[in-house]
Structure 1
Amino acid sequence: MRARWVAALGAAWGLVLAGAGGVAWATDPVPLGAGRVVDQVDALGGQLNAVEDRLEELFDDTGIDLYVVYVDEFTNPSDRQEWADQVALDNGLGATQYLLAVATEGRQYYISADTEGPISGDQLDAIEQSIRPQLSDGDYAAAAIAAADGFETAAGGGQPGESGGGGFLGGLLIFLVIAAAIAVVVWLVVRTRRKKQGAAGSGTAQPPVETLDTKELARRASSALVEMDDAVRTSEQELGFARAQFGDAATQEFAQALETAKANLNEAFTLKQKLDDGVEDTEEETRAWNAQILQLCGQASDELDEKAAAFDELRKLEQNAPEALARVQEARAKAAASIEASAAELARLSTTYAPEALSTVADNPEQARDRIAFADEQLAEAQTAIGAGDGGRAAVSIRAAEESVSQAVLLQEAITKVGTDLADAEKNAAALIAELEQDMATAAALPDADGRVAGVVASTRQQVDAARQGLSGNAKRPIATLQTLEAANTAIDGVVQGVRDAAAQEQRNRQMLGQLMMQAQAQVSAAEDYITARRGAVGAEARTRLAEAGASLVRAQQLQASDAAQALQFAQRADQLAGQAIRSAQNDVGAFSGGGMLGAPSAGSGGGGGGMLGAVLGGIVINSLLSGGGGRSSGGLSGGLGGMLGGGGGRGRSGGGFRPGSFGGGGTRGRRGGGRF
């Protein structure tokens, strides 16, 4: 059995508490011991050795490590996913190491998996389903053995393959239409409704917050976050376009209003994060924070609306449609001309890096082509409208094309970012290997009465050898390799840091911080790119995680020079939250493409985007919203737009397509899975 580095063994107290009067005692994330099973509630009885033997056999046959933890209840955090992932992270589990967590009293279970691991999300789902009957029967040893059997079968390719991408791509094309529709409509809606309502405002007021039940209040707060986040993002793009055309001076007041709105939005996202964390909130806190989110979003909306009249006058696409059309046509030509180069760059990266390392950009060239095709349709519509003297219709189509071209550029730039970050990760991993070689030499010379140092050195050697393999050949996983090495580094640092002087230790801490800052920045950047290009399908949860990740990254940067230890914690938090944002966004995208009002086109829809585009833009969105069916109200933001587009923090597991993953194959945890038994 391989040696493992661990924190101090701490499972014995759980056995004592579990027997106290039959009460179910809550359990925080636990340290793993030298074996592969932690059983705090005596769930296995006399079958512990049989389970350990099966898990050892699984590793010998497949190289997959499966750890199993039995506790009574999950707490701090109480969410099964977060609890199991925290155990995995605290104990430094790598890409080929999985954790099955079971709460026997809470009747919950979950398999924590690294996104870089060899077992797919669909395979993990199948394994979880296969062990549920044994868990329901209370046969916990059989469940663990069945899980090991499932992993062995999956490692041999025996589980179902990934689902086809046709339905996903069709759905993705439709939500692209909706994302573009948001960009087209959001300011036209505000402008039109403001003109209709006049300075005094009108329309049906939202019911007072006090009259709403807690569930409805939470739903409205999530929808408000989605709608306001879209409005701010679109405003940023709108401001950039206007600055390029008219200069900074003419847009200064709107820029200031946008900054104020962003500050309110960030505060609202912080409150949403508190509502979503593992700490149980009281009814009063839940209502107060959701009400405050609504208030902050309403204030942000008012800030933008107050300055929007002058900004609308500045844009005047209706009067400048021919000039605007020429400008967007030029931008379209540049974006289209660079797609093949981006595709070639992705193909080159594919000869060097494993598919998982490129998962977030694998379809970016095709997505960029879709957006250019969409822009072409809208530019043609604008040209026709200009010829007919319909400036309003021309403006709508020009704005849609402008947004689509902007997203095409973003998708291409993301490929370059991935390549740069993977190359940086390779360099950092190579440097860390050299440091670990020195640490192993230092550790080997230390006294070792109980053999603990030798065990840590042997484990580190195994990780270093595996890392060298991960950095060679044509299927490299540098970011996942770097994360594995960082876990090994943490373990061996506990052995050798006592013999380092203070200056050397400080230098070591700062070097680790630099590596983690790079990792966190890459993860946050990838989440931002992914959500921005697909925001029509992304709900409040992903946006909240991204906002919190960005705030943590800024805090890490602020502390980098003065407090390396604290900055390290914020960088780790930013990396984890950004990975959660990507996974949540991908789940939203997968659920969005699965059907429903805006799902994939039916077999008789024609296959192309034009017909559906006309239905969505011309019929559903513009006519509905401009006639008053989803604009802002005096009570803050309505749930119409956010709710229609899947806002509200959807937590459902994706039905297919992408497996939730992290930037560049970075190897994070947090798949949706498990359940009650």
Structure 2
Amino acid sequence: MTSSLVRGRPRHATAHIRVRVAHALVGAVAGAGWLAIPVLAAQEPATASAPRTAPAAPAAPRDDESSAVDLILPVAVLGTAGVVAAYSYVRRGRRASGVVSAAPAAATPAESDRRARAALVEADDSVRASEEELPFAAALVDEQTLAPFRRAVHTARTELSAAFALWHRYEEGEGGDRGQALAGVVGRCAEAGRVLDARAGELDRLRRSEAGPALEVAEGAFRRLTARAAGARATVTELRERYGPSVGARVAGCVEEAMDRLVFTTARLNEARRAVDLGDETQAVRQLRAAEGSVAQAGILVAGVDRTTRRLREAAALVPAALTGAEAVLAKARATGTPVPSGADDTLAAVREELTAGPYDPLDALRRITRALVRLPEARSGVLDTAAHLVARAAVGEAEDYVAVHRGAVGADPRSLLAAAVRTLAAPHPVEATVLARRALELADRDVRAHGVPDSDAQGTTGAVLGGVLLGEEPDGGPPVAFGGPETRRRFRTG
């Protein structure tokens, strides 16, 4: 059994031992050489005084003995030279490489930063994709069977939230050792992935046995969503007329992307149906998973249009009361000598003018009202608090939807700000959450533009890659993402 002391010995200590052993060998060989010299000296005269007329037969043993003795010095010299040369070679190699210890060099701060960012993005993608697959599995198995997978996703989401919180804290420069913080981020993300990886194979086994029924579930979801998307197109015109071009442009963009995902879904469902008919289970599962991921994203986009419509109506009904409440808060502040925020009166006047000037964005109006008065304690209650929460939920929801359907291009910073917005809204600090969510949306849009917004192709493949439905690693768009962590989410690669 290996001693614990030996197992725990540092590598550089082992290196020092090797050097000492080399020194000992050199000394031993050199000593052997020196000891051989007297023997050789004693043998030299006897060999020189041997009679030249002696018979050949008796002289043979003497010659053999002399030859053996004569080899001692050359062997000693050659051995010493070999050891010295080897030792010198090792020393030169160690000096040339600059490595004294066998331990790997520590990562630079930039490398640690990149590693943490990549871990956050991959873990967030894994959790999102795993969440998207569960509703399709739920249509085929009972809740008790699905419970372990729901728990895995919940655990992974918890670990990811902790990783984002740690990342955001140190991005804001809040004390502590940055190296330890980044290691903690990577560790949390790795644990989130491990939990999902552990359940991926089991979910595959459940779903592969139901390939035909699973395809029917996906086709049913596709048909229902297609009808809803057609209704959302009509909603765009209504919202543009009622709330102005900026609102209309936002929802129109969602509908266009939803239709693009549905085009992609159509092609993949057709391929899956063909594979099922041919008995090609592997191809059927691959195409089905791609179709399910696309249906999920189209559903997010269409649901976002419906949710925005409801919140715009709520906001429009709330704006007059919020204006009145804000004016009352300002009057009370002046009466009590409390400093009034600069520009608050101008903001309220501009909103009142918009109410009578024509179509306007009521969510944006409420956002400006609540932010103008955020420093006044009285503004955090009553109608203004209700308005602030409505605006924050709308902002967080919009950013969440955007990241979800563009995750193939969105980096770590927007995701971190979005996670911070969710935490801040739960605190609850709605005005601050709105600021974080809007910044997250801005950075996510910047990432998408830097990545390049693809032109719609005949089958919607480029949009699916941008959305992270396909991983973009093969000519046809790559494998579809699946339930699991970093080790298993790419398991549907061809070959």
TM over 0.5: yes
Distance in 2 of aligned mates of 1:288 and 1:441: 50
Is 1:288 aligned with 2:160? no
Match 1:586 to one of 445, 465, 484: 445
Alignment of 1:325 with 2:215, yes or no, is yes
2:424 alignment partner in structure 1? 552
Q: Measure the CA separation in 2 of the matches of 1:209 and 1:424.
A: 59
2:291 maps to 1:401: yes
Residues 388 and 616 (structure 1 numbering): CA distance in 2 closer, same or farther, change over 3 Å?
A: farther
Q: Residue 322 of structure 2 contacts residue 369 of structure 2 at CA under 8 Å; is this kept in 1? A: yes
Partner of 2:350: 466
2:160 matches 1:268:
no
On the 8 A contact 2:275/2:284 being kept in 1, the answer is yes
Classify the secondary structure of the residue corresponding to 2:242.
coil
Matches within 5 A, 1:311-350: 311-316=203-208, 319-350=209-240
Over 3 Å counting, the alpha-carbon distance change for 1:210 and 1:233 in structure 2 is: farther
CA gap of 1:215–1:464, structure 2 versus 1, over 3 A, is closer
- For 2:458, give the aligned amino acid: G
2:300 is matched with which residue: 406, 410, 424? 410
Q: TM-score, normalised by structure 1?
A: 0.51
* Distance in 2 (alpha carbons) for counterparts of 1:526 and 1:245: 31
Question: Which residue is equivalent to 1:543?
Answer: 415
- Specify which structure has the higher proportion of strand: 1
Aligned to 1:309: 201
1:522 is matched by which residue type in structure 2? A
Displacement of 1:392 in angstroms is: 0.6
State the match for 1:509 in structure 2: 381
* Rounded Cα–Cα distance in structure 2 between residues aligned with 1:311 and 1:619: 27
State how far apart, in whole Å, the 2-side matches of 1:624 and 1:373 are: 16
Verify the 8 A CA contact 1:269 1:547 in the aligned structure 2. Answer: yes
TM-aligned CA deviation for residue 436 of structure 1: 4.2
Report the Cα offset of residue 321 of structure 1. 2.5
Distance in 1 of aligned mates of 2:396 and 2:104: 34
CA contact (8 A) 2:160 2:189 kept: yes
Instruction: Verify the 8 A CA contact 2:136 2:292 in the aligned structure 1.
Output: no
- TM-superposed CA distance for 1:328, in Å, is 1.3
Flag the 1:213–1:329 CA change in 2: closer, same or farther, 3 A. same
Counterparts of residues 519-534 of structure 1 (less than 5 Å): 519-534=391-406
How many Å apart are 1:466 and its aligned residue?
A: 2.1
* Cα 1:461–1:535 shift into 2, 3 Å: closer
Quote the Cα distance in structure 1 between the aligned partners of 2:432 and 2:325: 25
CA distance in 1, matches of 2:244, 2:396: 21
Q: CA deviation at 1:275?
A: 3.1
Q: Distance in 2 between matches of 1:342 and 1:530?
A: 17
Name the structure 2 match of 1:200: none
The AA in structure 1 aligned to 2:352 is R
| Equivalent in the alignment of 1:229 | 124
Matched, 1:251 2:141: no
* Aligned 8 A contact 2:119 2:186 in 1: yes
Larger radius of gyration: 2
> Which string of whole-angstrom CA distances, capped at 9 and with x for unpartnered residues, describes residues 335-368 of structure 1?
1122221011111010011333455433111111
Match of 1:481, SS state, is helix
1:250–1:511 CA distance, 2 compared to 1 (3 A)? same
Evaluate the alpha carbon distance shift between residue 352 and residue 266 of structure 1 in structure 2; reply closer, same or farther with a 3 A threshold: same
Other-structure match for 2:73: none
Opposite residue 427 of structure 2, the aligned amino acid is: R
Matches within 5 A, 1:84-233: 211-233=106-128
C-alpha RMSD over aligned residues: 3.6
Counterpart AA for 2:259: R
Q: Deviations over 1:95-129 (max 9, x none)?
A: xxxxxxxxxxxxxxxxxxxxxxxxxxxxxxxxxxx
1:443–1:338 distance in 2 versus 1, CA, 3 Å: closer
Identify the range of structure 1 (303-312 vs 403-412) with the bigger mean alpha-carbon deviation.
303-312
Are the counterparts in 1 of residues 140 and 213 from structure 2 also a CA contact under 8 Å? Answer: no
Consecutive unaligned residues in structure 1, runs of 5 or more? 1-206, 498-504, 557-569, 602-606, 642-677
Q: Secondary structure at the match of 1:331?
A: helix
What TM-score, normalized to structure 2? 0.68
Could you tell me how far apart the structure 2 residues matched to 1:309 and 1:442 are? Answer: 63
- CA-CA distance at 1:378 after TM superposition: 0.5
CA deviations on 1:373-425 (whole Å, 9 max, x unpaired) are 10011011112222322111111111111111121121111112112222222
Report the residue type matching 1:351 in the other structure.
E
Question: What does 1:407-446 correspond to in 2, within 5 Å?
Answer: 407-438=297-328
- For residue 576 of structure 1, the aligned residue among 435, 443, 466 is 435
Q: For residue 517 of structure 1, report the CA deviation from its aligned partner.
A: 1.8
Secondary structure class of the residue paired with 2:221? helix
Q: What's the CA shift string for 1:460-514, capped at 9, x where partnerless?
A: 66543321222235431222222333355458x6xxx9xxxxxxx5x97344332
Q: Relative to structure 1, is the Cα distance of residues 488 and 392 closer, same or farther in structure 2, using a 3 angstrom cutoff? A: closer
Task: Indicate if the aligned counterparts of 2:289 and 2:481 stay in contact, CA closer than 8 A.
Answer: no
Does the aligned pair in 2 maintain the 1:443–1:457 contact within 8 Å?
Answer: no
CA–CA separation in structure 2 for the residues paired with 1:467 and 1:245: 51
Structure 2 CA distance for partners of 1:437 and 1:400, relative to 1, 3 Å: same
Q: Name the SS for the 1:212 alignment partner.
A: coil
Equivalent-residue separation in structure 2 for 1:509 and 1:611 (angstroms) = 48
Q: Give the whole-Å Cα distance in 1 for the aligned partners of 2:479 and 2:336.
A: 78
Q: Does 1:388 align with 2:278?
A: yes
- Could you say which residue in structure 2 is the equivalent of 1:609? 459
1:321 aligned partner, one-letter code: A
Alpha-carbon contact 1:369-1:408 (below 8 Å) kept: yes
Q: 2: CA distance between counterparts of 1:250 and 1:274? A: 38
Aligned equivalents of 1:610, 1:313: Cα separation in 2: 29
Asked whether 1:368 is paired with 2:258, we answer yes
Aligned residues: 382
Larger RCO of the pair (alpha carbons < 8 Å, separation 6+): 1
SS at match of 1:536: coil
Q: What is the alpha-carbon distance in structure 1 between the residues aligned to residue 244 and residue 192 of structure 2?
A: 43
Kept in 2: contact 1:352–1:473 (CA 8 A): no
Match of 2:370 among 486, 504, 518: 486
Q: How far 1:554 moved relative to its partner?
A: 1.8
1:197-247 deviations in whole A, cap 9, x for unaligned? xxxxxxxxxx99963222112112111111111111111122222122212
SS in 2 for 1:211: coil
Check conservation: 2:116, 2:183, Cα contact below 8 A.
Answer: yes
